[in-house]
Amino acid sequence: MERHTFPTSTLARHELEDIWRVRLEQSHQRYHEATTEYRKLLQQERDGRPPSLNSPLACARQAESEALMEYSRFLQIFTDLTIHGKLPEDGLGHRSSERSQTGGGMISVVDDDESIRDSTKTLLRSAGHQVTTFASGELFLDSGAVAETECIILDVRMPGMDGLELQRRLNASNAGVPIIFVTAHDDATSRRSAIEAGAVDFLSKPFEANALVATVQTALARRHVHRRGT
């Protein structure tokens, strides 16, 4: 939807900026609280037991995703106003159209299980994402795909370099690519290590298709927010 220039007949420019600054700060606080709660529950999740759709963990994951999407949208509106003097529709965002923050960029699936690679690629492509796959961490690093990757779906246990080692190397290089771990061998030590090192999520195989898609959307939105800053 077309974005219109600042409406001089309604609120003054500085008043609108103040309104959206407060909204952005409140939205960021909600996102921070939702993320804190989700990561706390994620670290406490029982080993090897995927959460049910109505479990506290699943609800916390959804709350975090919704809070991040809201923050990302408010950040876009605030940036358009303060830098470009533009607002969606009526100036208060009541009918604002959300620009997708989840499209574009490449999702890399790194897993030694060919069936998982293929099924995950099919799922994410059906959701509109570009996907490439790798059978090992070494192949992923050697390919040079890191620069084009917006999110990594990463297995924990693989021959050679495991997922946690790949995460350490990417962190050391300041790649800044969000990682979603998937594993058939969930254990508390690996889970804590992955989350403390910044993983977006830690999903047990077999995982719900909608859970993975929602987590990818969260990861891409987080990537977008990180790039824009506040």
Q: Which of 3-12, 79-88, 138-147 has the lowest mean pLDDT?
A: 3-12
What is the pTM (predicted TM-score) of this model?
A: 0.64
Supply the mean pLDDT for the chain: 79
Helices (H), 13-55: 13-44
pLDDT of residue 90: 45
Cβ neighbors of 154 (< 8 A, separation 6 or more) are 110, 111, 137, 163, 166, 167, 179, 180, 181, 182
pLDDT of residue 97: 38
* Nearest to 204, CA basis, from 228, 180, 223: 180
Q: Which of 109-118, 163-172, 175-184, 220-229 has the lowest mean pLDDT?
A: 220-229
* Nearest to 65, CA basis, from 217, 196, 195: 217
Bigger pLDDT: 110 vs 16: 110
pLDDT of residue 50: 53
Output the furthest CA–CA distance in the chain (Å, rounded). 65
Q: Residues 90-95: what's their mean pLDDT? A: 44
Residue 143: pLDDT band (50, 70, 90) is very high
pLDDT of residue 107: 96
Q: Which of 51-65, 139-153, 178-192 has the lowest mean pLDDT?
A: 51-65
